[in-house]
Every structure is written in structure tokens, then in C-alpha cells.
């Protein structure tokens, strides 16, 4: 039995989760043995209880579930973002979900249709380690990189490039970030020598971004640290149709615990449109497809991706893509194209 935890979170998170949850019922009807359980963690729970993600709940997720389907966290009623940090970043770091995979496959009718670009972003360290200090006239943010996490991320990127038969590019700034990005460059060069069958190169991130805008087709897979990977993948989301269409999957390639993956859309909680039916569920549905693939359910993953493409090819769109469908209507239109 595969056990999946559902954390809808904040803002538009519950709306897009409501469109993804029926995919689990559909997979179950096709013979997949799965159990899904809703967990309450998010701003509403925090404001009512002052509780973010209790240790007992984290341990239950870690040891009793196989994966997490996540909506979004972030709420203006918690201006410090404390609950978001203690939920999402705790899950990423505590479960050692080193690899954050963000594919860019532009959807039918979008300008870059046919592009196949993927970003491998280290997910637990770097500038997002939340270490630093603030004092009068001075602020410090630490960026911490360890060889273990860097190597796991880059090994996953090399493996993917080998499987696809495509090129791999490392984004870095080792010319100025000599310690942290120097480590990235050394590990990359080590793996480059160990995998001569993979066409691999390293580029300064500023030059890479310029080239990416000029000709995204010159890239196949990009690997980067947490900070650069976040920025680069948000840019590539624009090629695919916008943030509402962008999926992601975080996973632990070394499988330290039972729970090895977390799937979530890239778009965040979008509090400005929450509750209005304006959120695009495509990113959430494609994230669910990535989770299906991670679980080995390739037929279901492919069917969801094909249903999304067919829906857009038929002209059905939410407002961010130039259409007029609501979140629920778009989700229904996609699910109606799934095989029974």
C-alpha cells in the first residue's frame, strides 16, 4: 500500500489540491493500491494553534508515508513566514530531499512548444539554509554547501542526462563565490571525468542566463545550487506558459527514510488570487504526474500529461493563459480526458 500525505497549505493551495486529489481516486480505480490522508498544516492551523509542524507529525510523515503531495504555503497574516519555513523547508531538509526536479515542457499553443529543458536544483542547502544574523547597519546570510548534498544532486543530473542522451550544464559563480561554488565546480569536474559519455559543461550563471534568454534550445539539463536553481527554473517556467503551469518534484535519491518525495507546483500560494477561482491547476496536476512517475506508475503519469496537453490543444485555458475557465472548470476539463 502506497501512503500519500496531502498538505493543501495556504492561499491557492487548497484550490489546486482539490483538482489533484481526484487523480488519486482515478489511479486507485485503475488498480493502484494507495491511501491518501489530509494533514492540516498551514497558516489557518498555525494561527489557531501556534503549531507549525510538530515533531511527532514530522516523524509520522517520515516513517509512515511514501510521499507528500503539497499545495503551497505563505500567508500575509503571518508576515514573518515562520510557518512556511518550519513546514516546507523542514520537510525538504528533514527528509533529505536533495534533488528538486523542475521540467520545462512548453504546453500546446505556447510560444516555445517543443522545448524540453530540465532544471536540477539542490534543495536543502546553499543560501536557503536560514543561517545568518542582523544587527544595526549590517546583515549576514550564510550559504552552506556540503559535498554530500552537492554530489547527490549532480549524480542525479548526470544520470538523467545519460538516460536522455543530452547535454548537461552546471550554472555557477565560482569566479567570485570561490568556496561554495568552488566546491560545486570541483565535484562537477570529478563527475564529468567519470562520465565521459555525457556532454557536460560549466558556465558562469550570468552568461548562462543571457544565453538562456537568447536561445533556450541550446540547453537540455541545467544543474545549480538552491539559489541559482530557484531563479533559473522560474525563468524557464515562463517558456512553458507561466508559473501556473510549472511542476516540480523533490526527492531523496539515497532513500534515507520511507518518505522519499514531495510534489508541489512552483507557483506558491498566490494570496492575491486565492478563493477567486483564478489559479491554474495545471502545475499541480503535472506535479502529481511527476509523483506518479516517481512511484513507478508510468502509465498514469503519461496519461495525466497527455490529458493536460489535449485539453490545451482543444483551446481550454484559465485566464493566465488567455482563456476564461475557472480553476475547477480547468481541472474538470483535464480529468474528463483521462482514460477510464
State the pLDDT at residue 81: 87
What average pLDDT does range 77-83 have in this prediction?
A: 90
What average pLDDT does range 297-305 have in this prediction?
A: 98
Give the model's confidence band at 4: pLDDT under 50 very low, under 70 low, under 90 confident, else very high: very high
Q: What is the largest CA-CA distance in the chain?
A: 63
Give the model's confidence band at 80: pLDDT under 50 very low, under 70 low, under 90 confident, else very high: confident
What average pLDDT does range 176-204 have in this prediction?
A: 98
pTM: 0.96
Residue 15 confidence (pLDDT) above 80: yes
State the pLDDT at residue 108: 83
State the pLDDT at residue 109: 75
The mean pLDDT of the chain is 96
Phi-psi region of 114 (alpha: psi -120 to 50; beta: other; left: phi over 0): left
What is the end-to-end Cα distance of the chain in Å, rounded? 22
Decide if 266 contacts 243 (C-beta within 8 A).
Answer: yes
pLDDT above 90 covers a percentage of the chain that reads: 94
**One-character DSSP codes across 216-262:** GGG-SEEEE-HHHHHHHHHHHHHHHT-GGG-EEEEE-TT--SS--EE
Give the model's confidence band at 116: pLDDT under 50 very low, under 70 low, under 90 confident, else very high: very high
- Give residue-wise pLDDT tens across range 121-153: 999 999 998 889 999 999 999 999 999 999 999
What average pLDDT does range 244-248 have in this prediction?
A: 96
pLDDT above 70 covers a percentage of the chain that reads: 100
C-alpha cell at 32: 493502484
330 by Cβ neighbours in 10 Å (0-12 / 13-18 / 19+) ranks as buried
State the pLDDT at residue 235: 96
Residue 110 confidence (pLDDT) above 90: no
Q: Which of 52, 65, 54 is nearest to 3 (CA)?
A: 65
Give the model's confidence band at 276: pLDDT under 50 very low, under 70 low, under 90 confident, else very high: very high
Rounded Cα gap, residues 186 and 174, in angstroms:
10
C-alpha cell at 153: 544532486
State the pLDDT at residue 256: 96
Amino acid at each position: 500500500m502506497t501512503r500519500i500525505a496531502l498538505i493543501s497549505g495556504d492561499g491557492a493551495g487548497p484550490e489546486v489540491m482539490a483538482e489533484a486529489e481526484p487523480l488519486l481516486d482515478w489511479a486507485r480505480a485503475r488498480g493502484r493500491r494507495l491511501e491518501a490522508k489530509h494533514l492540516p498544516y498551514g497558516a489557518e492551523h498555525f494561527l489557531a494553534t501556534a503549531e507549525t509542524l510538530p515533531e511527532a507529525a514530522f516523524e509520522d510523515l517520515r516513517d509512515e508515508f511514501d510521499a507528500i503531495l503539497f499545495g503551497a504555503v505563505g500567508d500575509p497574516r503571518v508576515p514573518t513566514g515562520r510557518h512556511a519555513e518550519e513546514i516546507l523547508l523542514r520537510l525538504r531538509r528533514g527528509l533529505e530531499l536533495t534533488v528538486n526536479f523542475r521540467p520545462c515542457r512548453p504546453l500546446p499553443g505556447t510560444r516555445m512548444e517543443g522545448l524540453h529543458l530540465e532544471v536540477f536544483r539542490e534543495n536543502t542547502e546553499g543560501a536557503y539554509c536560514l543561517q545568518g544574523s542582523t544587527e544595526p547597519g549590517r546583515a549576514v546570510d550564510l550559504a552552506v554547501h556540503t559535498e554530500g548534498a552537492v554530489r547527490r544532486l549532480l549524480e542525479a543530473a548526470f544520470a538523467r542526462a545519460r538516460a536522455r542522451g543530452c547535454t548537461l550544464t552546471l550554472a555557477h559563480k565560482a569566479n567570485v563565490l570561490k568556496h561554495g561554488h568552488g566546491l560545486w565546480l570541483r565535484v562537477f569536474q570529478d563527475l564529468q571525468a567519470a562520465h565521459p559519455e555525457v556532454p557536460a559543461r560549466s558556465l558562469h550563471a550570468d552568461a548562462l542566463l543571457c544565453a538562456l534568454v537568447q536561445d533556450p534550445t541550446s540547453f537540455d539539463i541545467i544543474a545549480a545550487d538552491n539559489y541559482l536553481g530557484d531563479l533559473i527554473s522560474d525563468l524557464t517556467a515562463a517558456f512553458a506558459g507561466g508559473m501556473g503551469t510549472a511542476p516540480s518534484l523533490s526527492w531523496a535519491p539515497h532513500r534515507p527514510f520511507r518518505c522519499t518525495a514531495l510534489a508541489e507546483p512552483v507557483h506558491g500560494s498566490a494570496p492575491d488570487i486565492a478563493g477567486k477561482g483564478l489559479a491554474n491547476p495545471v502545475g499541480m496536476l503535472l506535479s502529481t504526474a511527476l509523483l506518479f512517475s516517481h512511484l513507478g506508475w508510468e502509465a498514469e503519469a503519461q496519461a495525466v500529461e497527455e490529458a493536460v496537453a489535449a485539453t490545451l490543444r482543444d483551446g481550454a485555458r484559465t485566464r493566465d493563459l488567455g482563456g476564461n475557465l475557472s480553476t475547477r472548470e480547468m481541472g474538470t476539463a483535464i480529468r474528463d480526458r483521462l482514460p477510464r
